Each structure stands twice: as C-alpha cells, then as structure tokens.
Structure 1
Amino acid sequence: MTDTALTDTTTVTVATDTAMRALGSAIAAEVRAGDLILLSGPLGAGKTTFTQGLAQGMGVRGPVTSPTFAIARTHPSLVGGPDLVHVDAYRLGGPEELDDLDLEAGLAESVTVVEWGTGMAEWLNDDRLEISIDRHADDVRTVRVRRVGERWRGTLAALAADELE
C-alpha cells in the first residue's frame, strides 16, 4: 500500500492539442523503464493526445493511436530507451480483465500508460503518475498530475508553470 504522504499534485492548464502533446513530451524527459502512468478523463479529453506527446518525447515507433479496440499496443524504442506499452481499459470489465493482459511481465522493461486506468490498474505499481484531464467547453483542459510514491518525489519540476500554450 502506498503511503499517502508520498503524493503530490500539480495542476496545469492546457490550451491546445499541441500543448497537450508538449505536456506528454515534458513528462517523457523523466520517465524510465518500470514507470506506470494512469490517465483518466471523459471521451475526447486528450488522453491519447497526451500519449502521442509522451511517445514522441520517448522516441518510440508510432503512430500512436487510441488502442480502444486492440486494448494494448507496444511501441518499441527507436533510441535505445524503454518501449511504450499503451493500454486502453475503456472496454474492460474490471481489474481482473486487465490482469489477463499480463502487463506485469513486461512492466519492468517498459513505460506503461493505461487510459481509463483509475480504479483498474493501480495495483500494477505503487509508484505511478495519475493524470486526470478535464476538458472545458472552450476546449481548454485542466490537467492534474498526481505523483504517487517515492519514485516520483521531487520530479517534474518543469510542470511548475501554470499554463501550457
């Protein structure tokens, strides 16, 4: 169980899809093999757009598209870094179906992103980023990045800026 004292949240405003990709790319600068990122937000909030920026920043093979029907896709690194495993849990019935994907087998060697992961994938890693995205009527998004666990303590200083344009 994660000690709740080891959590910290940063909130940023993201005005465009380009800025959402930039946020993903900024986070890519600090990810490493074994990291887990859980994404939540309504349909069209920008979860896949964020993951596209993360993938670009990590230097993995693309294109990165929503894996809603494939459930999971692996994007191999083109630069000698970790692979990106991109999962969409939207159609899964619960954590037991996510367990059937056997993500744990490659978790230590990859960065794993789980869209719709809240309430489904926390058990994969006590240290994780939980990113929730709210999209407003003007298409501006409020993004909350919650750092959970010792691994993320003191990271992501670049997100201190309140707004990404």
Structure 2
Amino acid sequence: MIVLIAAAAQNNALGKDNQLLWHLPDDFKRFKELTSGHYIIMGRKTFESFPKPLPNRTHVIITRQKGYNPEGCIVVHDMESALEVCPKDQAVYVIGGGEIYNLALPYADRIDLTRVHASFEADAFFPEFDPTQWKLVSSVPHEADERHAQSFTFETWDRM
C-alpha cells in the first residue's frame, strides 16, 4: 500500500523555505506512530530539512543530484525506482515535499492528511486530488489548544 502522509493547510500549503508553517505536536506524534518501522519516500530537500535521519524508518530519497549518498539511506532518481526498492507487502509512506507528492499521487492507495484549518503563504503545496476518486474513511477533529495554535482534522482517504 502506498500512503501519502502530509499536513496541509486549507489552501494546500505545506511549507515555505523548506520549513513547516505550524507546530502541531499531536500531528508529529501521529506521523511517528504511522511511519515507524516503514520505508519513507521523500525528496532531497525534505530529507535535508531534518536535523538527522528519522529513527526506525528506512529513508528512500529521490534526487536529480548525481553522487548524492547520505549514509544509511537509499538514493534513487525517480518515483518508479523509489517504489521498486520498497517492500510490496507493507505500507510505504510518501512524506514530501510538494513535487514528490505530485509524482506519487497516481500510485497512492491512501492519503493520511492532517488538514490544518487555516491558510498560509507557502512555496510548497499538497496536490489537489479528485474527491470522486477517493473516499473519506476517517475524520477526527482536533481543536486548537495550549499546544496547538491551529485547529486541524486527521483525515484518511482511500482510493475507490
């Protein structure tokens, strides 16, 4: 199963200048719970936005750069190669950025989307997806609180 996992604003904003636009601890917790123990596919810029590789996950990095080879990671040059190196019998998570989500959307079986209830100025966006091709199977709202400046909803969409 190929799963796109993202947090996106109402206007599909993901980030700006390779940084997230919000701080949502419960979203980080969900991301860790879902992706731990799995292969995660990302673009080079997303990988480089981490202080270090994420623990207990196999990193598959898509880049056009020749000779790019961070220790302990699998480096490929296109989405098809990224999917080929991943196990076929378990969930594989695509974690961004915007260009990688666009490339992965046609292959995706599920979208685990944290919909942030605000709009932001951004330079990276989650792709529009046709709601007639997807079924919302779970929607869990989370109000803003002392740890979360924005309200948000955990949504799970399965391809029909």
Question: TM-score if structure 2 supplies the norm length?
Answer: 0.40
Which structure has greater helix proportion? 1
Q: Say which structure is richer in strand.
A: 2
